[in-house]
Amino acid sequence: MSDQNIKWNNKVKLVLADVDETIADVYTPAEPEMIGELTSVLEEGVVIFFVTGASLARVESRITNQIPGHLRRFTLVSHCNGAEVWGFNSEGDKKEKPFYSLYDETFSQQQKDKWREIVKQLIEEFKLSVYPATKVSEFKTMAGHNPLAVMLEDRGPQITFEFVNGYDLTPEQEKQLEMSVPQTNGALDLRIPVLERADRLFQENNIPVTPRLGGIFALDFAIKGVSKTYSVKHVLENENILESAGLSRQDLENPDHIEIWGDKFDQFRGGTDRHMCEAVNPKVRAIDFREEDPSGFLPGYNVVIWKGKYHLHHGLLEYLKSRHNK
């Protein structure tokens, strides 16, 4: 842990980057300035591997489509928390198929359908009001402060609920609900009873899906066993994937050659970015652009908190711009 200003690492060859609130606000395109900085990082020969819970379609529309086509092959995308990894060819087009897909390899059509039925059942049982996934400000305009209003997005290999108003209830809000919400890690989090019920239904129906907390207010239904650790390890151990992005395994032996950017490393509140740390040498520097309490970090990893003027994606932008100051 360091309180000092974090300097740009000139040795870095591969960045593992979370997307939501690290590169761009949730369900929002990356800002033009961010695209400009990422483009110049790619031009400098750094490969950027986006490792996210978001869907491939959203990573494309929010980020990679804005990056010049000839540089896109130096990016990789692990979407839906590692269910699939995709790359781009030298023309900048998405490759015809993913490097791997645990969704199609693991699920029968019947299981895919049953998964959707269970989601419907949960919506009914918990009396959730469902809205399409969008910017938080737009959601709040539509849904107000109703804790039972959620955004829902079916991403194929992952289905995600966003409990924008329900992850940190006041005791008064909790009393007004028909269910009781247990105190979990210091918060009255409506996601917990939904998660527990979902887990039971998936198990009873033999659907290999694990419900888990993601982001700040997400409840992700993800394929069992997938995680950011899985996809990062898979890529780092696969010479072909690395080569398609212009890297070799030898390039990445030195921990200084890899860097992690994220905003949720806290192990007690569903911080999925810590799973990137678990896939690499613990000495690899991970920059946390959220001012999290370090007591929630996994011990033994090199997670440092960005101490700039800004945080989250604006903190990353500040960090990227700091490269030009020397």
- Summarize the chain as % helix, strand, coil (round to 5): 40, 20, 40
Q: Which residue is nearest to Mg ion (CB)?
A: 20
220 touching Mg ion, by CB under 5 A: no
Q: How far is the CB of 104 from Mg ion (least distance, A)?
A: 26
Contacting range for Mg ion; rule: CB under 5 A; set: 135-143, 194-202, 238-246, 255-263: 255-263
21 touching Mg ion, by CB under 5 A: yes
The residues, any chain, with a CB within 8 Å of residue 261's CB and separated by 6 or more, are 15, 16, 17, 18, 22, 23, 286, 287, 289, 316
Among 37, 220, 263, 266, binds Mg ion (CB under 5 A): 263
259 touching Mg ion, by CB under 5 A: no
Would you put residue 62 in left (φ > 0), alpha (ψ -120 to 50) or beta? alpha
Q: How far is the CB of 301 from Mg ion (least distance, A)?
A: 17
Contacts 24+ apart (CB under 8 A), 38-43: 38/63, 38/67, 38/320, 39/67, 39/68, 39/71, 41/15, 41/320, 42/67, 42/71, 42/74, 42/75, 43/71
Contacting range for Mg ion; rule: CB under 5 A; set: 10-18, 138-146, 241-249, 252-260: 10-18
Residues near Mg ion (CB under 5 A), total: 4
20 touching Mg ion, by CB under 5 A: yes
Site residues (CB under 5 A) for Mg ion, limited to 282-311: none
Please say which residue, 23 or 67, places its beta carbon nearer to Mg ion.
23
> Which candidate, 184, 174, 154, places its Cα nearest to that of 57?
154
266 touching Mg ion, by CB under 5 A: no
18 touching Mg ion, by CB under 5 A: yes
Residues that bind Mg ion (CB under 5 A): 18, 20-21, 263
